[in-house]
Amino acid sequence: MFTEYEIETMIELPEILEATQALKKDFCKNEAPYLEISDHDFFSLIMMAPTVGMALADGKVSLFEELALNKKARKLSKGGYFMKKDPVVYAMKFLLKKFDIWSEKFFEVLILAMHKSIDLSSLEKQDFNEDMEVSYPEYKKEVLNTPYILIRFIASFFLENDEEIISTNRHIGRSEYLRMLTIGEQLKLNKLPVFQMFCKTFDQKA
């Protein structure tokens, strides 16, 4: 997942900062008028949106999922909030309640951030068949040939903590798996072979 320093670097890009500030103003006005949060921490909240969407795949968030979300949010916050209220954790409560209403706008900022960080269109392969079987060596090679920043985006969106992206020992519920595919499509990652291969590394469970 991203570090607070990588978040800081992205938020320094004028287009990303402008989009973040506009969404923060809109979100706070409609959902949390008394929320005090920096641009850095609000962009961290935006980065949490895909993970929040995954947690809501079954329609509710379990205590275990909430603890995992809070832990991830704290890692993205600017500075240390160990002994005091973390602004990203606090703001995330509002996003959890109205995710269906705000997810599209949050994802639009993420798409902008990815396009300002990397040329995604150059990584699309028109002849790639998403239904074909992919071997583990092929997946590892694709990851190694993919720009580092894109791997960081995918890992930050869909993996917990600092889990290794080159792995095949993952288990996921059917509803969460389908939600991951949907979010990938909303973020326009579904045309990238590395994302399609990444999804195949999960074993689905009922």
| 204: enclosing H helix or E strand | strand 202-205
Confidence of residue 120 (pLDDT cuts 50, 70, 90): confident
Instruction: Report the distance separating Cα 137 and Cα 139, nearest Å.
Output: 5
The reported pLDDT for the residue numbered 150 is 94
Res 183 pLDDT > 70: yes
Predicted confidence at residue 113, as pLDDT, reads: 96
- Contact 39/17 with Cβ under 8 angstroms? yes
The 10s digit of each residue's pLDDT in 35-58 is 889 999 999 999 999 999 999 999
Q: Name the pTM for this structure.
A: 0.91
3-state class (DSSP) for residue 203? strand
Q: Is the pLDDT score of 84 beyond 80?
A: no
Cβ neighbours of residue 38 under 8 Å, at least 6 residues apart?
A: 78, 87
What pLDDT is attached to residue 99?
A: 96
**Mean pLDDT confidence for 170-181:** 91
> Half-sphere exposure (CA, 13 Å, Cβ side) for 206?
0
Average pLDDT over residues 149-158: 93
Of 192, 177, 5, the closest CA to residue 114 belongs to: 192
- Tracing tokens 């409609």 back to the chain, one arrives at 30
